[in-house]
Structure 1
Amino acid sequence: MDVEIFTHRNCTECNLLLDFLEQRGLLGKVKLIDTELYPFLAFERGVISTPSIFVNGKLIYAGKVDFQELETILSGGQVVRKVNREELVEKLMEGIVDSFAATAWLYVNRDFESFMAQRDFVLAVTGLALSENPEEEYQYLRNVVIKEGENLLQEWEPRILRNISSNFVREIYWLYGNKVGKERLFSIYTPEIFAHWLMVRGGSVGRVGLRIHPISDTKVMLRITKAYSYTVENYDQLWERVEREQRAIKSRDLARHLVL
């Protein structure tokens, strides 16, 4: 059995997964691929959320991982999930708001039809990848979200805004290392610069997948300005949370290296 796990060093879920696998003595059964070092390989495989786990070339998990299920799979057992159609839309949206690439792209472009073409990701985050009849359920889900897409984006907007703003602050943390004063930061990152950042970060590598909307597109800019305002208003709280998160990751990583 060939099990590949695409990770990122600053991904909390990835670090929790690695801790679990190490504690269970299962690290030797998987191949770890760092998306920071091999971005084009990740892009080629359709990875838009970490951790992403492939079993014999098939994407099984994206973002959230059921650790007990994975342990069963790595131990040679079989996992088959029962499908509840009433839960599929919520599972999909949970998977989307757990992925910054998916969140940013959908928030800016409002195009569920194109997004649902990421079939492997959809199957993984909804659990359909481990179901007996994924194709029928996928088509059902696709029809629902294409029809209800705008309503879903409005319903999930609070989670979407938190995702976008948290990831912006997280990247500022990585870029500067120390907290930048709010006034200085947002004099550098004007709404127009923030808009460019959000469009570029929305699921693109280079120009692949990139959609640039003109600043004169008032509908798009209205949405982006809302995300920008949310980020400005919550900057201090977001910074504190990101700082705690990143320190915890560094401490866990150091402890893992000391054990090894």
Structure 2
Amino acid sequence: MEVEIFTHKNCTECNLLIEYLESRGLLGKVKLVDTELYPFLALERGVISTPSVFVDGKLVYAGKVDLYELEEILNGNQVSREFNREELIKKFMEGVVDSFAATAWLYVNRDFDSFMSQRDFVLAVTGLALSDKVDEGYQFLRDVLVKDGEKVLNEWEPMMLKNISSNFVREIYWLYERKLPKESLFSKYPLEVFAHWLMVRGGAVGRVGLRIHPLSSVQTMTRIAKVYSYLQENYDSIWDRVEKEQRKLKEMRAVQ
């Protein structure tokens, strides 16, 4: 059995997973793949969020990993999940808002018909990858989201705004290595520049996955302006949270 884990050094969940596996004496049973060093391999394998765990080539976890289940798998035990229709949409959207790429792409493009073609990701975040009713569960979820996707996105909008804003601030932290005054930040990144960042960063690698909406698109810019306003209103608290997170990450990497 081959278990591969696609990671990134700035991914908190990745570092926690590595730390856990090491503490359980299981790190030697997995192959770690750094998505910063091998981005095109990650793209080829359909990695949307990290950590992504593949078992014998099959994507089993994306973003959130059930540590107990993974330990069972690594110890050679069979793991399966019950199929529960009532929880599928919730699990799917939890997986989406755990991934910046998925969140940004869906928030801007509102295209579930296209997004659901990422079948392996959908199965991984919902737990269907470990179910014996994969096709039934996937088809049910696809039908609901293609029909009522806008309603679902509206219900999950607060979490999507938080995800996008946090990732923007996180990248500002990496770029400048210090907190920019609020006025300076929004002077450097007016709404049009922020819109460009969101469309380009939202699930695109080069032109793969890239959808550029004209700045004249009222619907698109209204949605993006909502994120921008959220970011402006919550910048200080988001920065504090990101700064604490990044300091903890540095401490974790220092002891690995």
Superposition RMSD on alpha carbons, in Å?
A: 0.5
Distance 2:119 2:46 in 1: 10
Distance 2:234 2:35 in 1: 29
- Secondary structure, aligned partner of 1:207: coil
Provide the TM-score with structure 2 as the length reference: 0.99
Number of residue pairs the alignment of both structures matches: 256
1:136 offset after TM fit, Å?
A: 1.2
Distance 1:202 1:165 in 2: 12
Distance 1:90 1:250 in 2: 32
Letter in 1 for 2:35: T
1:232 offset after TM fit, Å?
A: 1.0
Distance 2:203 2:44 in 1: 13
1:133 offset after TM fit, Å?
A: 1.7
- Is 2:166 the counterpart of 1:166? yes
Distance 1:130 1:252 in 2: 30
1:152 offset after TM fit, Å?
A: 0.5
Which residue is 1:134 aligned to? 134
Which residue is 2:206 aligned to? 206
Which residue is 1:15 aligned to? 15
Once the two structures are superposed, residues 86-135 of structure 1 have per-residue CA deviations (whole angstroms, 9 ceiling, x without a partner) of 00000000000000000000000000110000000000000000001201
- Is 2:142 the counterpart of 1:148? no
Distance 1:185 1:17 in 2: 34
Which residue is 1:124 aligned to? 124
1:85 offset after TM fit, Å?
A: 0.6
- Is 2:129 the counterpart of 1:93? no
Provide the TM-score with structure 1 as the length reference: 0.98
> What stretches of structure 2 of length at least 5 have no aligned partner?
none
Distance 1:41 1:200 in 2: 20
Distance 1:78 1:174 in 2: 41
Once the two structures are superposed, residues 140-195 of structure 1 have per-residue CA deviations (whole angstroms, 9 ceiling, x without a partner) of 11001111100001000000000000000000000000111110010010000000
Once the two structures are superposed, residues 211-240 of structure 1 have per-residue CA deviations (whole angstroms, 9 ceiling, x without a partner) of 000000011000000101101111110000
Once the two structures are superposed, residues 17-59 of structure 1 have per-residue CA deviations (whole angstroms, 9 ceiling, x without a partner) of 0010000011110000011111111011100000000000000
Once the two structures are superposed, residues 184-207 of structure 1 have per-residue CA deviations (whole angstroms, 9 ceiling, x without a partner) of 010010000000000001100001
Which residue is 2:179 aligned to? 179
> What stretches of structure 1 of length at least 5 have no aligned partner?
none
Structure 1 residue ranges, 4+ long, deviating more than 3 angstroms after superposition? none
Once the two structures are superposed, residues 69-96 of structure 1 have per-residue CA deviations (whole angstroms, 9 ceiling, x without a partner) of 0000000000010111100000000000
Which residue is 1:56 aligned to? 56
- Is 2:9 the counterpart of 1:34? no
Distance 1:197 1:104 in 2: 10
Distance 1:161 1:133 in 2: 33
Letter in 1 for 2:203: G
- Secondary structure, aligned partner of 1:234: helix
1:255 offset after TM fit, Å?
A: 1.5
Using the aligned pairs only, state the percent identity. 71
Which residue is 2:230 aligned to? 230
- Secondary structure, aligned partner of 2:59: strand
Distance 2:224 2:116 in 1: 22
